[in-house]
Structure formats: C-alpha cells, structure tokens
Amino acid sequence: MSASHPVELDTLYGEYPLDEAFDEMRQANGGVRAHYRALSDTLARLPEEELQRCKQSADLSFLTQGITFTVYGREEGTERIFPYDLLPRLITAPEWDRVERGLTQRITALNLFLRDVYSDAKILNDKVIPSELVYSCKHYRRQMRGLQVPRNVYIAVVGSDLLRLTTGEFVVLEDNLRVPSGVSYMLTNRRVMKRTFPQLFSSYGVRPIEHYPQLLLSTLRSLAPEGRPEPNIVLLTPGVFNSAYFEHTYLARQMGIDLVEGRDLVTHDNIVYMRTTDGLKRVDVIYRRVDDDFSDPLAFRADSSLGCAGLFNAYRAGNVTVTNAFGTGLADDKAIYTYVPKMIRYYLDEDPILPNVETYLLSEDNERRHVLANLDKLVVKAVGESGGYGMLIGPQSTAGQREEFARQIESNPRNYIAQPTLAFSRAPCLIGNHLEPRHVDLRPYILFGDKVNIVPGGLTRVALERGSLVVNSSQGGGSKDTWVLE
Amino acid sequence: MLSRVADSLYWMSRYLERAENTLRQLDVAMGLMLDTGAASPETRWKRLVASLGQDSGLDWNGDLESMAGKLVFDQINQAAVTFCINGARENARQVREEISSEQWQRLNRLFHYIHSPRAQTEFRSNIGDALATVLDGIHLFTGVSAATMIHGPGWQFIRLGRYLERAYATATLLEVYQSDLLQPQEREYAGYQYIEMVGLLRCCTSFEAYCQVYTADVSPDRVLEFLLLNQNFPHAIRFCVDSIRDAVEAIHRGGSRRPSDELTAGIGRLHAMLGFTSIGEILGGDPAAFLHTIREQCLRIHEIIYRYYVHYSIQSALAS
C-alpha cells in the first residue's frame, strides 16, 4: 500500500482493544457509534501522509501560538508543545444537557454549603455532615467565619472532573474549587482543531466555547464591590515560575485585564492598590490564581512573598472582591466530597443528577479496615492534594508502596479516602499512524456570577501512556478538544 | 502600566543597548590593534575597558582572542555581551505578555545562540563574523520591536532605556578618548591619527554619516561636534537626549499625573547643555569635565525615573 492510498480500516484500528471500559467511539461489538461515524469515515479516507501532515501542522500551530512550556532549567531551553491528541472527543447534545443540569445543581449546592458553614453552620447542627470533618480540614479558614461575601458567591470558577463509567453514565470524580487550571488549553485546542479539520468541524455542528473569556470577565465584573461601577479587575499570578503561568497570561490578555503579582500590590487603609507608572491605582476585583496560604503574609503563611500584606483585611472590609473566596478548599476536600449528594438534598431538596463515585472515608473505622485489607484493588488519595500527587493506584503498585500508604493511613486517617479502581472510558487517539484507545476524563468549567454559565464541553484529559489511568498534565497526561454536538 | 513591567522593559532595553555597545567597541578595538604603530595592544585594550566602564576581570593577559572571548562570553562582568543578553532575556521573560511573540522569539533565539557551542566555534574560526552575527540578532530584535509592539507606554520605556544607556555610554567613550584625540602625541603620524578618529566614529557606527555631514575631512573638533551635538544622528548624544525627552513626554501624555518637576529639570538641563552650546565653547573650556557632567546628569535622570515611576513611596503617591 503506497502512502497516498487511504489507510485501511484494519490498519487504522489495528491494535484497538475493547474491554469492559466504555469506549467513546466504538460499541462493544466493534461497531462505530452513530455520532462518531463521520469522524471515523474521515480518518479512514485520509491518506496516511495527510494524517501525519495534519499532526505536524497542528504541532506547528501550538508552537507558534506559544502554547508551550519552556524547560527553563536546562541550557538548551527547548520549548515543548503541551501534549495533546489530534482527535476530538465527542459528546451528544442529550448527554451534555444532563451534565450541565447536574453541574449547575452541584455548584449551587456547594456555594450554599460554603455560605452555611462560614456562617450559621446549620448543616452541621442538623448533623448531616460531621462537624469534626469540617473543622479538621486544613483548608477550613476560621478567618472566613461571619464574613460577608459579594452576592454570596464563594466559588465563581470551578472545574469539576467527570468520568464516564462502563454504563456510559457520567459521574463526578472530584471538584476543583481552589485554582482550577486548563481552560487555556481548552481554548487553544479548539483553535487548532478548527484549523486542522475545518470541514469535519463545520459538518458536525459543534457548540462554540470561544466566549469563555468574556463570560469569565462578566462573572468577575458582577462580583465587584458596591459602588464601583467601573471596577478595576486584575488577575493575581504567582509569576513566571508557576507551571500554569502561560494560562494566567493567556486569560489576562483575552479578558483585557492586568496581570499582577503580589509585589505589584499594596494595601493602605484597607484598600488594595496596584503600583503603576501613573501612581497607585485602586483594585476592585482580584481573580486569584495564588493559593490561600500564599495570598497574605499577615493572614496566612508569613513566609510567603507571592501575596500582598493586608489583602485579607481589605477583603474583610468589603473594599476588594477576591475570587474564588478564601477557604473554598474546604469544599474540594475529598472527604467532604463524599457528602455532596447529601448537600444537594439538604439545600435544594433534589436528588443529585450526577452521582459521586463510591468513596471510602478512612476516618470511619469499618471503612478503613476494608480498605487496608484491599489496598491492591483500590485507589487511595490524600484529601487535600491535586495534580495526581499523594495517590496510590492499588493494582499498579508494589507491595512496598502499599505498606508505606498503609502506614500513612494509620497515622492520619482523616487525610485519606479510597475509591475503587474504575475502568473509566477510553477515546481513540492517534498513536503513530493508527488509532489506539486511551483513558479520558472530562473537566467542564463552571462559572458562577449573577448566574451559572458552563461552556459546552471543557477539557478532555488523556492518559497518553497505554494502560495508564493518570490523566494529570503534571504526570504525563495530555488533552483533547471536546466537541459538544448541536 | 505596572511599575514592575516598565522597570523590566526599561532594563531589557538598556542591557541590549549595552551589549551592542560592547560588540561595536570590541570590533573597532580589534581592528585598530592590527596597526601597531600608534599604540600597543595593551594600551588599546585598557582604553577599551575604560570606555566600557567595567574593568573587573579584564586585565590584559597578552592573548587578544582570549580577552575578546571574555568580553563576549563572560556572565559576570557587567559589560560582557553574554551577561547583558542574559539580563535582557530575563527581564523580557518577566513581561512576556507585554512584548509581542516575535520579540520574544528573536531574543530567545539570540540567547540560545550565544550560549551554544556553535557560537564558540564560530568565534574561534572568525571573530568578526561571530560578532556580526550577534549584532544582527540585536538589530533584528530592535526592528521587530518597532514593528510589532504597540507604541504605548511600554514602548516609550524601551526607548527611554535605550537612549539613556546610549547617551551615558557615548559620553563615557568620548571622555576616555578625548585626551588622545585633542592632544595627539607629537611622534604620531597623521595616518595613525586618522585611523584613531575613524575608529572612534565607527564605535558609534557613525563614520559614513559623519562623511555625509562633513565630507571625509576628519578632524578632532568636528568628530566631537558630530558625536555630541548633531541633532539628526541616532548615536549622537544630543539626539539621545531629545529622544529621552520625547519618551518622557509621551509617557506623561498617556497618564494622569503631572510630570515630575525634577525630571523635567534634569532633562532640560542636559538638553540646554547640548542645545545651546557650540563646539568652540566646549573645546575652549574643559571638555573632560563637560563630558563628565553629561554622565552625571544621565545617572541623575535614571535615579529620578526610578523614584517617580517605579519605587515611589506610598505616602507620596497617595498625597498627589
């Protein structure tokens, strides 16, 4: 077969194993799902060299757009493209509708939970959630008790991670309420895909996402303090050494707001100012991409140079809005996560549309015993971590690793939860010149200002290594464009 | 714009101007060393180092290639080309969202080149070509900056850095050379004196421009007049001062504060020194002191810029 003939379907799907995990594109009998047919046909019709050319052109697109991460440490300082896969991940309109309703319900409940816990704590008094669980969470911030937050919106930007189980149903794996990242990759993936597969894109009718920066900006604006009609909105970044710095600059530029670091800010009389060549300029809304701990050396970690001294006092005085609010890490603690369905029932009197993943709370004796006896089958996670760190994947671990985790669990059970290893869904990826399935998750981005806005789709993260279940970018994961169909 | 960002753009620009200055002066000095009649290589080297203003670690060891290599590749001496390019890139990296992607790519490419083994090899095989490659890289960046950056306050801080550095460096150069220029040794042949003056002009990339204004008749007072007082040539100190004044005015037009009196006075003083004096008056007085005053004024202007735009105290900012 010469390089200019289309790739044979067999070659295309050569080593494509199907098992219990839901395959996004293929049914159990090997047939292609209806909504993937156009994609599959296009791939089958493309000559092999054309497919490679598409890949190279996409690579170049990412490179010239600067969607790279620079290895600053090494002398060569090569700019590397953020790992991605060329093939879009498709979601049908009915599937998305359910996800959207489920996430709206969830973020509403989480916001109400935070407001409740940082004021009257009715949900704790009614013993729906154990008080110790809340107060022993290291991200619970006593400073937030009784503090009035604009529009009662504690979490304006949320990234919830969803998995699709063997039944095809979406479930929520975790909520990221502190500084969720990845939105810039979602936006740049879309730009590159439109350039690489323009006909396929238009023939499918994909719901747009490019307005995310506008939505984010209007969300931030809606949270400005009273009496500030032309609010000065800034994005607070830890700076160039932060791995998400590219995203911070990207979003700031797309929104047309200033990107500031802690050292640009000063507070005086409980008002936050930024230091400009034209004198001090008052700041009204801070979109915070710095963790609580590092935001204010007077209120939090004293050794932090990334924040602004006095920021919390200005916040408390209502002179500046900081979002997401401080102390929202409480609600993305993985132990608290297990109570989100209860929160939805308690605050909204509704059944959760999107279920949680079955989770063992290791602070509960009988659950802990069960988990310790079955470490080789379960995934254990530290409650406050993100990025795939502090995690044990039972079936892929060594006895030594399991022993170490058992010790850690025994010494601090509050700090861990366990979940069954899930065979979550896989999507086709272009590996060389053929397709292979890889595990994917979905991270939609939810905005909560004067109303809830969710851009269709979100970031599909891929575990690029064969068999791997870890999709986090910091651990070898990549991303795909997500197409929600009209 | 943010003070921190203005600061970084200003220094990025100053470092690149400094690198260019070192490259040119080194190139000229090496060319002059080929004519050994007028001065020993060691004398020339010492004069070069004096005019660059950073003499640490640059004592003449007799081997021109290794000395030139130091001036190009050293990462500690503040006049060394690599030190300057490191500084420029580091500052640019802090403000990547302010500069265009083309600017960043050019500067990054230049940075990687000068750190590459290839640069070392090319330097050893043909120094002149290697220096030209780096100079080209700097010019590319300057050109791309002018074309792809919005000419707002950020751009004006870049101009401010470039012309302040250039004014200071040129005044330093002239201060070091003026005694040799104006009191030539009796034993020197006219031919050597000519080469020295042309060398000085080439340090400021101004030989051809000079000829356009004065013809090829090169004389010490005309050389000084050209490099000090010419209004139209970009490497003349007068032109630099005018550009500094323009940049500051543009920065103020875009802002809401009234201009700093101190800054206006400082620039005005420098402008008056160069705008209302004739070369006859300068040469009739103490040219060395005149040049020294220019350098001092440049330092003062830099200090005032910092106090007014970058490191102002909160109390004074809130009071105004």
B101–A contact, CB cutoff 8 A:
yes
Is B313 in the A-facing interface, judged by CB distances under 8 Å?
Answer: no
CA B28 – CA B196 distance, rounded (Å)? 10
pLDDT at A315: 96
Task: Please check whether residue B251 touches A, CB under 8 A.
Answer: yes
The reply to whether B314 touches chain A by the CB within 8 Å rule is yes
Strand, helix or coil for residue A212: helix
Q: Provide Rg for chain B, Cα atoms.
A: 20
Q: What would the mean pLDDT of B49-77 be, rounded to a whole number?
A: 89
Q: Enumerate the residues of chain A whose CB falls inside 8 A of the CB of residue B254.
A: 278
Interacting residues of B276 by C-beta distance below 8 A, sequence separation 6+: none
Position B266 scores a pLDDT of 94
B314 vs A278: CB contact, 8 Å cut-off?
no
A77 chain-B contacts, CB cut-off 8 A: 108, 111-112
Residues A306-355: tens digit of each pLDDT? 999 999 999 999 999 999 999 999 998 999 999 999 999 999 999 999 99
Q: Are A450 and A363 in contact (CB under 8 A)?
A: no
Does the beta-carbon distance from A277 to B310 stay under 8 Å? yes
Q: What is the C-alpha to C-alpha distance for residues B249 and B156, in angstroms, rounded to an integer?
A: 9
| Cβ proximity of B110 and B137 under 8 Å | yes
Choose among B145, B123, B8, B249: nearest CA to A240.
B8
Name which residue leads in pLDDT, B265 or B259.
B265
> What one-letter code names the amino acid at A151?
R
Query: Which residues of B are less than 8 Å from A274 in CB distance?
Result: 2
Report residue A77's pLDDT band, with 50, 70 and 90 as the boundaries: very low
pLDDT for residue A69 is more than 90: no
Retrieve residue A62's tokens: 């990412």
Mean pLDDT over B10-24 rounds to 97
pLDDT at A4 exceeding the cut of 50: no
Angstrom distance (rounded) from CA B115 to CA B133: 13
Residue A9 pLDDT grade (very low, low, confident, very high; cuts 50, 70, 90)? low
Nearest-CA distance from A402 to chain B in Å? 43
Which residue is associated with the tokens 């009196």?
A: B261
Name the token pair of A73.
């440490």
Q: What percent of chain A has pLDDT over 70?
A: 92
User: Using H for helix, E for strand and C for coil, what is the string for chain B?
Assistant: CEHHHHHHHHHHHHHHHHHHHHHHHHHHHHHHHCCCCCCCHHHHHHHHHHHHCCCCCCCCCCCHHHHHHHHHHCCCCCCCHHHHHHHHHHHHHHCCCCCCHHHHHHHHHHHHHHCCHHHHHHHHHCHHHHHHHHHHHHHHHHHHHHHHCCCCHHHHHHHHHHHHHHHHHHHHHHHHHHHHHHCCCCCCCHHHHHHHHHHHHHHCCCHHHHHHHHCCCCCHHHHHHHHHHCCCCCCCHHHHHHHHHHHHHHHHHCCCCCCCHHHHHHHHHHHHHHHCCCHHHHHHCCHHHHHHHHHHHHHHHHHHHHHHHHCCCHHHHHHC
User: What does the pLDDT read at residue B256?
Assistant: 85
B306 to chain A, any CB pair closer than 8 A? The answer is: no
Whether the pLDDT of residue B165 is over 90: the answer is yes
**A 361-420 → B contacts, CB under 8 A:** none
Does pLDDT of A12 surpass 80? no
Q: Assess whether pLDDT exceeds 60 at residue A62.
A: yes
Closest residue in B to A76 (Cα–Cα): B112
Nearest CA in chain B to A265: B2
- Average pLDDT score over residue span B231-253: 96
Handedness of CA B92, B122, B50, B170 (dihedral sign): negative
Nearest to A258 among B2, B104, B115 (CB): B2
Residue A50: half-sphere exposure toward Cβ, Cα within 13 Å:
13
Q: Which amino acid is at B67?
A: M
Is the pLDDT assigned to residue B314 strictly greater than 90? no
Nearest CB to B94; choose among A240, A277, A278: A240
pLDDT band (50, 70, 90) for residue A73:
very low
Does the pLDDT value for residue B186 go beyond 90?
no
The shortest C-alpha distance from A421 to chain B (Å) reads 42
Residue with tokens 């007799």: B62
Q: Which pLDDT band, with edges at 50, 70 and 90, does A3 fall under? A: very low
Q: Which of A64, A263, A268 sits opposite B4 (nearest CB)?
A: A263
Query: What is the model's pLDDT at position A387?
Result: 60
Phi then psi for residue B144, to 5 deg, are: -65, -35
Q: What is the pLDDT of residue B191?
A: 74
Instruction: Judge whether B4 is closer than 8 Å to chain A, CB to CB.
Output: yes
Rounded average pLDDT over A121-146 = 94
Q: Which residues does A339 contact at the CB level (< 8 Å), separation at least 6?
A: A128, A129, A133
A271 CB neighbours in chain B (<8 A) are none
Question: What pLDDT, on the 0 to 100 scale, is given for residue A46?
Answer: 83
pLDDT digits (tens, 9 = 90+) for A204-257: 999 999 999 999 999 999 999 999 989 999 999 999 888 788 889 889 989 999
Are residues B96 and A264, on separate chains, in Cβ contact within 8 Å? Answer: no
Contact A111, A363 (CB under 8 A): no
Chain B window 152-211: which residues touch A at a Cβ cutoff of 8 Å? 153, 157
Strand partners, A337: none
Q: Does B282 touch chain A (CB under 8 A)?
A: no
Task: Report d(CA A464, CA B5) in Å as an integer.
Answer: 38
- Region B143-153 average pLDDT: 94
Query: What pLDDT is recorded for position A11?
Result: 66
CA distance B315 to B320: 9
Q: Give the closest-approach CA distance of A306 to chain B in angstroms.
A: 14
pLDDT digits (tens, 9 = 90+) for A425-474: 999 998 887 889 999 999 999 999 888 999 999 999 999 888 787 777 66
Helix and strand element counts for chain A (H, E): 16, 23
Please tell me the predicted confidence (pLDDT) of residue A76: 43
Q: Do residue A277 and residue B101 have CB atoms under 8 angstroms apart?
A: no
Contacts of B184 (CB under 8 A, 6+ apart): B193, B220
Taking only the tens place, the pLDDT of each residue in B284-304 is 999 999 999 999 999 999 999
Q: What percent of chain B has pLDDT over 90?
A: 72
**What value does the mean pLDDT take over residues A264-284?**
96
Distance CA B270, CA B305 (A): 15
Q: Does residue A110 sit in helix, strand or coil?
A: helix
Beta-carbon contacts of B37 under 8 Å, excluding residues fewer than 6 positions away, are: B189, B192
Whether A258 shows a pLDDT value over 50: the answer reads yes
Write the residue in B2, B256, B320 that is nearest to A275 by C-beta: B2
If 0-12 CB within 10 Å is exposed, 13-18 middle and 19+ buried, where does residue A409 land? Answer: buried
Q: Is the pLDDT of residue B154 over 80?
A: yes
Q: Dump pLDDT digits (tens) for A159-178.
A: 999 999 999 999 999 998 87
What pTM was computed for the model? 0.86
Q: Which of A277, A282, A283 to mutate to test the interface with B (most CBs of B within 10 A)?
A: A277
Q: How many CB atoms lie within 10 A of CB A309?
A: 16
